[in-house]
Amino acid sequence: MSLYVDIKKRLGSFTLKTKFETDSLITGLLGASGSGKSMSLKCIAGIQKPDEGVIMLDGEVLFDSSKGINIRPQDRHVGYLFQEYALFPNMSVKKNILAGMSHVKDRLERERRLEAVISLMKLEGLEEHRPSQLSGGQAQRVALARIIVSEPKLLLLDEPFSALDNHLKDSIQVDMKHLIEKLGTQSILVTHSVTEAFRLSNSISVMEDGCVIRSGKCEELLSDPQKEGCARLFGHRNIFQFIKRDGNLYIPELQLSLRAEDDIPEGADKISITDDAIKAGGLIKVNGVEVLKEERGSSLLVDIGGERKLWWKTELHDVDHIAIDTARCLFLR
């Protein structure tokens, strides 16, 4: 199963330009609030219509502006789990789930699917409960059950854990991943949490200002984020502009020249000085011989004069010199 998305949609001064392709079981769509994640899901589901572009699911064209194709949401075989689950408050658990099978006319088939999904989602004994009588985790399972009975080809999860208490999230996230693996239904998970994305996803597409800036397997993105926005999202703190000089690099903000041990990637103009690239000792003096520092937990704010600062996660405290190994730094665009 594969999903291809290449769409544009203008929303006032904001322009959504989502482009990614994935065949992973669970793909994380990661980014800060307002980056376009949820709008991308709505376009895939057919709730919103892009201005232009193409959406294809497993070879079937769901949307193609150039060909005038725009399949109705109910015909896309796409399940959408909203942040607040959107359960009908006046209906029981059983009736909420049955609402997901309005297209199934055979009564015996409806009953078979209902019985199977109640067992799968561990909802036995809650069939006659109303949404107001359910916990957050139970409500989520009912909402998922309503989607699953429609047998979607693609499952869209829009911040599915945002309405849950923190103490519930860990166990419910594990349950969600196991459920998707059991069903084998390709899924897109929208989240602003890096931890959540890496815990649940097989691959990730990172969004910033309406665009996908980086896509790949989780390990690839961690080892080589490539983009500044991606690196900052992953917690990189020491990111600086640099200038190439005779094969080496100069960091104006730090007034520092570094020897480039490896070739600098084409197009890179920023360097992320990672924790493991900074070492005590070496030839770089920090503010003369005495480090002006501010301790915050296991992190050290190293002041090398004026506004020029480096964050360094270390357990060392008696430091008067540091060395920076550019071979362990990351280069960004």
Domain ranges of the chain: 3-224, 239-332
**Alpha helices per DSSP H over the chain:** 37-45, 93-98, 107-120, 136-148, 166-183, 194-200, 218-223, 228-233
**Alpha helices per DSSP H over 77-206:** 93-98, 107-120, 136-148, 166-183, 194-200
* Confidence tier at 186 by pLDDT (50, 70, 90): very high
pLDDT digits (tens, 9 = 90+) for 303-322: 555 566 777 777 666 666 67
pLDDT above 70 as % of the chain: 89
pLDDT digits (tens, 9 = 90+) for 18-45: 999 999 999 999 999 999 999 999 999 9
How many CA atoms within 13 Å lie on the side-chain side of 13? 1
Q: Quick one: 3-224 is in which CATH superfamily?
A: P-loop containing nucleotide triphosphate hydrolases (3.40.50.300)
Cβ-based neighbours of 289, under 8 Å, separated by 6 or more: 320, 321
pLDDT score at 270: 96
pLDDT digits (tens, 9 = 90+) for 102-132: 888 888 888 898 998 899 888 999 999 999 9
Which residue did the predictor score with more confidence, 215 or 286? 215
* Confidence tier at 297 by pLDDT (50, 70, 90): low
Distances, alpha carbon 252 to alpha carbons 7, 226, 241, 282, 332, in Å: 39, 21, 7, 21, 16
Whether residue 253 is predicted with pLDDT greater than 80 in this model: the reply is yes
- For the chain, what is the radius of gyration of the CA atoms? 25
State the pairing for strand pair 239-241/270-272.
Answer: antiparallel
